Amino acid sequence: MLYDRIFAGAFLVLSGLIAWTAYHFNVPFQYEPLGPKAFPLILSGIAALCCVWLFIKPSQNTWHPTKEVWVKILSGLGIMVLYAALFEKAGFIISTTLVGTIFSWLFGEKLLKAFLYALVLSPISYFLLADLMQLNVPVGILFGE
Amino acid sequence: MDVFHYLALGFSVALTPLNLGLVLAGCFIGTLIGSLPGIGPINGVAILLPLAYSVGLPPESALILLAGVYYGAEYGGRISSILLNVPGDAGAIMTTLDGYPMAKRGEGGRALALSAVSSFFGSMGALLLMVIFAPLLSKLAIQFGPSEYVWLMIFAFTCLATMVGKRPIKTIVGVVIGLLLATVGIDSGTGILRFTMGIPNLFDGVDFLVVVIGMFAISEVLILLESWARNDLKLTPVGKSFVSFADLMAVKWVIFRSTISGFLIGVLPGTGASIASAVAYGTEKRFAEGKEEHFGQGDIRGLAAPEAANNASAAGSMVPMLTLGIPGSGTTAILLGALLMFNITPGPLLFEQQPNIAWGLIASMFIGNIALLVMNLPLIGLFVRLLSIKQSYLVPVIVMLTFVGIYSIHGDTFDLFFMIVLGVFAFILRKLGFSLAPVILGLVLGKVLEENLRRALSISGGDWFILFDGAITYVLAIATVLAIVLPKVMKLRKK
């Protein structure tokens, strides 16, 4: 199965949904001829045409990920989701140390060295970002409140 | 003269301690980002944008910083091209062709120095052209009404579709995705909610920063993860660094021609540094035919041409962004989005109503280029050493900066998850051969396109023929048709 066909099919369904949603917008009043429906409708029409074209003339698959690559990408993704989940609750320093360690390790560093790097990186960055640049960086449970 | 008056004003803005510091910082960070393989100008600008926004910089300062990163990266891209044969960004691909053979011959220093000087003249030449043409273009653009703007955007998308990437259809899909993303949120005309799926965070529309960071930075991290392999890149020794007068004289016309073509290609909406450098390289190769040419084996003309052109196009792509509000490249699309976030709408009136922003930026680019020349001649050793920063140290910093940047905008974890979702989506798009620049261009221009279309039809009372009213609309319509037809004709002629 060619990826382009899968993509075209999925996007075709999506553009149908978009068109249906746009058509059923509840517009109580409108002072102009075009209104809020027309533009999304036109776009979904163009999208549908493109999808049909892409379905008929797809490109060859150029991406052949190995199992190892999948594991790497999915683990990277998992760590980012974890980072997002921990960021506010655990705070910047703890979550960055943890996530930084794993990322550094994924890119070939030895685990201990990766941990030491992340351990140094996160408090220094916290100081730079939160105190020096006055950014909104979450303190987290351990250090704040 | 008006121009000198405005330039003086611009320099008074650019020379304040804060802005001067930001130009230097931007240029330094840009060179660094450009020289690191894999992280191009567009990622650099994307990662720094939320930080610049959250720190609360005034709009002109934020723009000066981000623009510095942009053209700094066009300088930096050549370093890894020459020394590693790995282009730092797409605009530097052509630089590998003659730069790397020179480095292999032990002339790395000569190649680095000459390309730095070529970059400098390319940028400066393009800046002068910008000073002359930007005000003229903005005077012309004042006459543009909604119909003209609709055409201008269609023209921009057409250029993008026919000139970028292998499959025009995929570029169009990308633009449509961007345009659709822009329709999410409250409709400004009627106040109804569109495509928000009941999520309050989306009532204001999808946050531009979240989209940019998600699509560029997060997908880049995933790509780096995929392509990373345990191989130690071997740096070619730099050798003696010098610029000889004879070298300069040998390439002076090459630089001159490449600057002009690079600038023009930069001005064309949608086309950026990678096309500019490819065209310049091809032109010079044809010019040199018959006369002692060693293109591809370390000819200094083949090195000077793409470097002058990609820097000239960076300056050129600022012209339509500032005067028309239509970005000339993916990176300027992000800069445009940045300005919109600061409630500044670039367009013909920008030069008159907010000269401190337009001219402050131009003046800062003059200063930045001089700073970059200084950074890239004596300090080149520093950047070369930075090239060997390991990705295991770099990636955690990138991930950290993206998360802090996005979180600090609203202090809401929703944005972080949304960013990751968009990152995965962008990763899939990239793997399927879609380019991301069209998506960003569509996102940035979506609201403007819809508003102008609706305004045009309000004026005409629903008559679509208003799109063919007045000479300028015809010119733009013909230009659009040419943008579709010309590349096809050129392809046929090549065969």
Q: Percent of chain B at pLDDT above 70?
A: 95
Taking the domains of chain A in order of start, what are their residue ranges? 3-56, 67-132
- pLDDT tens profile A102-135: 999 988 889 999 999 999 999 999 988 888 888 8
pLDDT tens-digit series, residues B442-456 = 998 998 899 999 999
Region of B290 please: left (phi>0), alpha (psi -120 to 50) or beta: left
Question: Residue B306 and residue B312: Cα distance in Å, rounded?
Answer: 10
- Would you call B81 exposed, middle or buried from its count of C-beta atoms within 10 A (0-12, 13-18, 19+)? buried
Q: Which of B55, B221, B416 sits opposite A134 (nearest CB)?
A: B55
Q: Which residues of chain B lie closer than 8 angstroms to A63, CB-CB?
A: 431-432
Task: Note whether A36 contacts B173, CB cutoff 8 Å.
Answer: no
Global pTM? 0.88
Closest CB from A50, A96, A106 relative to B173: A50
Question: Cα separations (Å) of B353 from A94, B6, B134, B138, B344?
Answer: 47, 12, 15, 12, 11
**Radius of gyration, alpha carbons of chain A:** 24
Helix (H, G, I), strand (E, B), or coil: what is residue B185? strand
The Cα–Cα gap between B410 and B367 comes to 34
What angle, rounded to 10 degrees, do the helices at B413-431 and B219-227 form?
A: 50
Percent of chain B with pLDDT over 90: 27
The dihedral sign for the CA sequence B161, B167, B172, B174? negative
To probe the interface with A, which of B57, B61, B230, B393 has the most A CB atoms within 10 Å? B393
Q: Which of B400, B413, B417, B464 to mutate to test the interface with A (most CBs of A within 10 A)?
A: B400
For A18-67, the pLDDT digits (tens) are: 999 999 888 887 788 888 889 999 999 999 999 999 999 888 888 888 88
For A86, the closest chain B residue by CA position comes to: B413
Cross-strand bridge partners of residue B193:
B186
Angle at B77 between CA B75 and CA B79, to 5 degrees: 90
**Using one digit for the tens of pLDDT, what is the confidence trace for B38-97?**
677 888 888 888 888 888 889 889 999 999 998 888 888 888 888 888 776 777 888 888
Mean pLDDT over residues B140-168, rounded? 85
| pLDDT at site A18 | 92
Q: Provide the mean pLDDT of chain B.
A: 86
Of all residues in chain B, the one with the smallest CA distance to A40 is: B180
Q: Is B176–A125 a contact, with Cβ atoms under 8 angstroms apart? A: no
pLDDT category, B150, cuts 50, 70, 90?
very high
What distance, in Å, lies between the first and last C-alpha atoms of chain A? 54
Mean pLDDT confidence for B248-267: 90
Provide, as residue numbers in chain B, all residues whose Cβ is less than 8 Å from the Cβ of A118: 396
Q: Do B187 and A36 touch (CB under 8 A)?
A: yes
